[in-house]
């Protein structure tokens, strides 16, 4: 099986101004979405991201810049975790092991939420969201 791992390093991602920010771990003025998905197609495991920033409509330029600075940190954390995911998948495939994508993906989402919590605590901006650890071991 080969791996096609695409889109995570798009920089900068597009900025979309929206009437309501949803799906961004409790954030209301802005958000970063990776819009990731994966599927298997014949002998290729495809992992694809379409990163985007969301910004609430009606913010002034100063507020919007502040929101985007915050969301950029989420993007940087995401890229690091996506690269780790890619390395894990490549190593497993090179060693002809099951890539365990379902389990890896759950841990990846968990790590992103955890990293967001760390950033929010250390910066004093944003909420802390309770995230449950996956109930299966982290694939090596
Ligand atoms: Zn945040």
For 99, list phi and psi in degrees, rounded to 5: -70, -10
Report CA(12)–ligand 1 centroid distance (Å). Answer: 17
List the single range of 50-59, 107-116, 126-135 with lowest mean pLDDT: 126-135
Residue 81 has what pLDDT? 98
> Looking at residue 134, what is its pLDDT?
97
- Is the confidence at residue 26, as pLDDT, over 80? no
67: Cβ contacts below 8 Å, ≥ 6 apart: 29, 30, 55, 56, 59
- Whole-number Å distance, alpha carbon 115 to ligand 1 midpoint, is 10
Cα(73) to centroid(ligand 1), Å = 8
Tell whether omega for the bond before 130 is within 30 degrees of 0, i.e. cis.
no
Q: From the CA of 27, how far away is ligand 1's center (Å)?
A: 6
Helix (H, G, I), strand (E, B) or coil at 16: strand
Residue 88 CA, ligand 1 centroid: distance in Å: 26
Mean pLDDT score across all residues of the chain:
95
The whole-angstrom separation of Cα 106 and Cα 81 is 12
């Amino acid at each position: 099986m080969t791996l096609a791992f695409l889109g995570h390093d798009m920089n900068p991602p597009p900025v979309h101004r929206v009437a309501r920010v949803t799906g961004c771990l409790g954030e209301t003025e802005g958000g970063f979405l990776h819009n990731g998905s994966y599927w298997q197609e014949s002998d290729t495991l495809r992992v694809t991201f379409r990163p985007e920033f969301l910004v609430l409509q009606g913010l002034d330029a100063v507020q919007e810049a502040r929101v985007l600075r915050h969301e950029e940190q989420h993007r940087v954390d995401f890229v690091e975790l996506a690269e780790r995911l890619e390395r894990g998948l490549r190593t497993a495939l090179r060693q002809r092991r099951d890539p365990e994508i379902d389990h890896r993906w759950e841990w990846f989402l968990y790590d992103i939420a955890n990293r967001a919590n760390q950033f929010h605590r250390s910066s004093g901006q944003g909420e802390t969201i309770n995230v449950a650890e996956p109930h299966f071991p982290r694939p090596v």
